[in-house]
Structure 1
Amino acid sequence: MGRRTTSTLLFSALLLLLMQSVSSKNPPSIARKEDLPFIRCQVCRKIAEELHGLVQKKQTQISPKMISELQIIDIAENVCNLKKEESDWILRIDIVEKGDTLELVDQGTEGQCNSECKTIERACQEVMGYSDTDVAEYIFKARPSINALVNYLCGDLTKACSVKAPPIPKDRIPGEPFVAKSSKEAEMEKILKSMQGKVLRQKETAKPEWKGRILEGVKQSGAAIKKHVDRSLYRIQKWWGGKKTGGKASKAVLVTALASVVYTLIAV
């Protein structure tokens, strides 16, 4: 591991510790599973909108190259993970009661991640399930409009909008009010996510190099093993010649040589 990679990891660790020290002041929030049926379809529509926007953004960044299916899969895999930049949309959403329904309202700025934030993440993960590769393939091949993507993801693929959301219970306990993050906190979190992404990309880039080193190590180890086995076989051949002449001491040589070969093969 190079010095640059090491310093990057240390910097990321320091940022993480700082974020944890800030967030530890408040108890961790958990998703409200009872709210999932009331927001599932809306969350699915938001996923489709975000996927469409993120793919277009990525395409603009890498133009004139065309976005690959693998790059779209990466976006689809991360859109429901609050630890990833692709899920920042979740932090802007507030769950608001409107009559006997729940409505997702985009506040235009990131808020503190409380139980509502975790609930949206959970709903997002349940909607996507194992459909990330399927929706990525559809986007890559069809290049759909937002409406077409919504119909495919929420109707054909996941059925998230096939059933109308039921009315919310009258005794439902309201969620926490939306609290916007300070600009410093939002910036710090973006830096942390960005650094974590860079570390992961560096690991991916280093894989071919490590693969080459491992293969070279296996090759060298194989040559050493072959040399060791050849020596042992040579000793066995000498024993065989000694056996024909009636040499008694040659039996000990045989046992030693055979044991050496067996030990070498087991060690492999």
Structure 2
Amino acid sequence: MLPVLVAVLAVVAGVANGNLDMDKIGMPHGKKMGEHKAPARKADIPLIKCQVCEMYVKQAIKATKELRAAVKPGQKFQEADIIDRLEKICDPDKDAGEWINMIDLQEDGDKLKVVDMGQVGACETECRTVARTCMDLSESLDLSDLSEMLYKDKKRATINNYVCYDESGFCSKKAPAMPKSRPFGEDFKPLTEEEQRHKKMMRSMKEAGLSGTMYDRESMMASMNKGEDDDDDDDAGMPTPSEL
């Protein structure tokens, strides 16, 4: 909870002191966090589902290794930890699903390739399409069985066959050709370091249940001053020591 509190205080202090420019980091004044999400393009799902499935397996194995390495002396690594991570791995708005923000869908002849750009980008239609595909995959799996395989450190090929062929069937058939009528997707838009820091702070605040409205400096200061005035009004009704 402490890191989240620090993040909240940093945002408030930055806005109040004028050190955090809400325009530069892409947060409109007076807008609530997570207010708008680009729609997924469901027609693209059959074109990319096998590639997304293979990436899902890769991320699941990576997440398990990170969790295992983070276990402190005296603590026990449990399958429940893996399941908790798997339940968040398809959400690009959570830390576990940040990998989805790095994906770009690229047209290549009659194929649609799922490409890891190696940097975090804006989560627009293509990002949401990958997330929807990932969620469809997750819903077709028994996460308890998958977590057991990950816990036992099964080989990647074994897990891939289980997830993408045996359970979901996402790779059982060859992907169809991309329709010529399909409109081109948006360009990948990498986030600046400042935008990434802001996104992480907003994510931490949201996960802590602090999904309020972010305002510019003037609105923030006006709100703070109003609070002080209210305190003064409360004090006005109290008798002074001489009146007691």
Equivalent position to 1:34, from 33, 36, 43: 43
Q: Is the 8 A contact 2:140 2:168 kept in 1?
A: no
How far has the Cα of 1:191 moved from its partner? 2.8
Residue 114 (structure 1) aligns with: 124
Under a length normalisation based on structure 2, what TM-score does the superposition of the two structures give?
A: 0.70
**d(CA) in 1 for partners of 2:100 and 2:86?**
14
> Is 1:143 paired with 2:153?
yes
Give unmatched runs, 5+ long, in structure 2.
16-21, 211-244
**d(CA) in 2 for partners of 1:130 and 1:148?**
17
The aligned amino acid for 1:55 is: T
Map of 1:76-225 to 2, 5 A cutoff? 76-131=86-141, 132-140=143-151, 142-197=152-207
| Higher-Rg member (1/2) | 1
Higher RCO (CA < 8 A, seq sep 6+): 2
Cα root mean square deviation, aligned: 3.1
The aligned amino acid for 2:28 is: S
Q: Is the 8 A contact 1:29 1:118 kept in 2?
A: yes
Deviation string, structure 1 residues 14-69 (Cα, Å, up to 9, x no partner):
68x96753788x97410000000000011111110001001101111114444211
**d(CA) in 2 for partners of 1:195 and 1:58?**
23
Map of 1:14-93 to 2, 5 A cutoff? 21=28, 28-64=37-73, 65-93=75-103
Q: Is the 8 A contact 1:8 1:199 kept in 2?
A: no
Aligned residue pair count: 193
Q: Is the 8 A contact 2:89 2:96 kept in 1?
A: yes
How far has the Cα of 1:94 moved from its partner? 0.3
The aligned amino acid for 2:118 is: G
More helix per residue: 1
Q: Is the 8 A contact 1:76 1:133 kept in 2?
A: no
3-state SS of paired residue (1:136) = helix
Q: In percent, how many aligned pairs have the same letter?
A: 30
The aligned amino acid for 1:35 is: D
**d(CA) in 2 for partners of 1:146 and 1:66?**
23
Give unmatched runs, 5+ long, in structure 1.
201-268
Q: Is the 8 A contact 1:9 1:199 kept in 2?
A: no
Under a length normalisation based on structure 1, what TM-score does the superposition of the two structures give?
A: 0.64
